[in-house]
Amino acid sequence: MKKNSLPMAANSALSILVLVGSLILPLMPAVVYAETSVDLSPVGIGSFNNWSQEGGSGGNGDEKKVDAVLAHNGDTSFIKEDDNNKAQTFTVADANIPEGSEIDSVTLYAYARRVSQGSAKIKLRVENGTLQQNISDGDEISLDNSYTLYSRAMATNPLTGSVWTYSEVNDWQVNFGAVKTNNNKARITQLYVVVDYTAPEEEIEENPGSLQVYKYDYDSGELIPGWEICLYEAAYVGDVGFEAGDLIRCEDTSSNEESEFYGAAVFSGEDLAPGLYVVDEEERNGWRLQDWEADNYEDVNEDLGQLLISIEDGDFSDGSNYNIYFYNQGLAVITGHKFNDLNGDGSWEFGEEVIAGWPIALGRVNENNNEINELDEGENQIPIEIVALSLTGADGSYSLEAPEPGHYAVFEARRAGWSPITPTEKPEWAIFIF
């Protein structure tokens, strides 16, 4: 708010997740999340270690075996076995799936082929990891001459007969691999496990969207906190205007500078059914509504600082917001007091009573707001427009607001038997008698 300190008549003081897809990394264990599945690569050797490897970049034989089955790269790297009843198993990476998930199935995959003509057969194996006798082999598979993806889907843990548990797949106590079932040559170039699961449903806090009314200082562009905004149902809408009906509620513009809603009054969209509403800003002395913006509005009453808005079905869907911006300009406020200067010395002293009910006016004195007209001695300024009028109160005070920047003069009414003591001169901002 702007204030100017000015001399007043009769000694009046003037103061004025989700990574998707399946991926097997070639050189390290891979755990890649899909919507409801995770792919797990070998990370070590299991209880059975009878196949040999070809290719692979690991340091020793075991590491090379792990490396050899990480990627489907054909005969570049693979494990192989010629003899019957020889098994090779691997430990795999833990699933690390969300806590509380239900395991739908565990599937063991292997890209394998036979090497020579004739039948080469394998079974896909699950074993306990500590007891070699606790094993489960799948159905016998006859291998094709080219690499083909074979699988064994397990809705339950074949070693226990029960459904897989969250703790089992997040801390494996079983190993996975294959066993040869005849003497013809077989190769496996990739082996991995896929865990399909159903994650627990997350409670998603629905954001219904909101009506947000922001208050700005028109001159500085800064947000103004602590300004009351009220929302009403629209009671009347006609050709000549609108009226506010029942009050819904009032909110102050936020003073929390850490909040995304700083400087805004927020009304939840879930409280607002489609219809017409009146947004009303608090009326404050020394301020006027200078401008406004809104996502959509029907009408405005600038004098009252009210906006008629229409809420349509879907305005707050998907968390959408309905935004209104009020821009208020601080006005120059001229204040003062009127008192009876008994000794005529121009000073308000003890025992000098205030004068109530005396008309005081603010007048525009230059249409173009340029320099104020110079006056000859004894000449009074004549206002071209009275912009504010006030009666002194019970304490002799008055308050006048200038509606916009410009040149103004303060005038007081003439009264028989009274004459002004101050001001004795007429400065640019001055007191004149009307």
Do 107 and 63 share a domain, yes or no? yes
Of 250, 231, 234, residue with least CA distance to 242: 234
- pLDDT for 109-134, tens place per residue? 999 999 877 788 999 999 987 656 78
- Across-strand partners of 149? 111
Dist CA 96 CA 369 (whole Å): 75
Do 232 and 373 share a domain, yes or no? no
Domain end (from 198, 218, 245): 198
CB atoms within 10 A of CB 381: 21
Do 343 and 393 share a domain, yes or no? yes
* Over residues 92-96, mean pLDDT: 90
Do 304 and 369 share a domain, yes or no? no
- pLDDT for 21-53, tens place per residue? 222 223 233 333 335 888 999 999 988 999 998
pLDDT averaged over every residue in the chain: 80
Q: Determine the 3-state secondary structure of 417 from DSSP.
A: coil
Do 282 and 401 share a domain, yes or no? no
* Over residues 184-200, mean pLDDT: 91
Q: How far is CA 146 from the centre of its chain?
A: 54
- pLDDT for 370-379, tens place per residue? 455 555 444 4
**What is the structure's pLDDT at 63?**
85
Do 184 and 297 share a domain, yes or no? no
Do 151 and 230 share a domain, yes or no? no
Tokens encoding 290: 């200078």
pLDDT more than 90, % of the chain? 33
Residue 29 lies in a domain: no
Of 271, 273, 321, 317, residue with least CA distance to 296: 321
Of 351, 317, 355, residue with least CA distance to 206: 317
Residue 276 lies in a domain: yes
**Does position 171 have pLDDT exceeding 70, yes or no?**
yes
Amino acid (1-letter code) at residue 66: V
Do 181 and 45 share a domain, yes or no? yes
Do 172 and 270 share a domain, yes or no? no
Domain end (from 272, 298, 330): 330
**What is the structure's pLDDT at 260?**
86
* Over residues 203-232, mean pLDDT: 86
Q: How far is CA 151 from the centre of its chain?
A: 46
Number of structural domains, the chain?
Answer: 3
- pLDDT for 254-271, tens place per residue? 999 888 889 999 998 888
- pLDDT for 52-73, tens place per residue? 988 877 777 788 888 988 999 9
**What is the structure's pLDDT at 369?**
44
* Over residues 156-178, mean pLDDT: 89
Do 95 and 173 share a domain, yes or no? yes
Residue 232 lies in a domain: yes
CATH number at residue 362: 2.60.40
pTM value? 0.45
- pLDDT for 283-342, tens place per residue? 887 788 888 888 878 888 877 778 888 888 888 877 788 899 999 888 778 888 899 988
Dist CA 394 CA 95 (whole Å): 82
CATH number at residue 168: 2.60.120.260
Show the domain range for 222.
210-330
pLDDT grade for 383, boundaries at 50, 70 and 90: confident
pLDDT grade for 203, boundaries at 50, 70 and 90: low
Residue 124 lies in a domain: yes
The lowest-confidence range among 73-87, 227-241, 362-376 is 362-376
**Does position 434 have pLDDT exceeding 50, yes or no?**
no
Do 219 and 319 share a domain, yes or no? yes
Domain end (from 137, 164, 198): 198
Q: Which residue has the tokens 């339950």?
A: 156
**What is the structure's pLDDT at 335?**
87
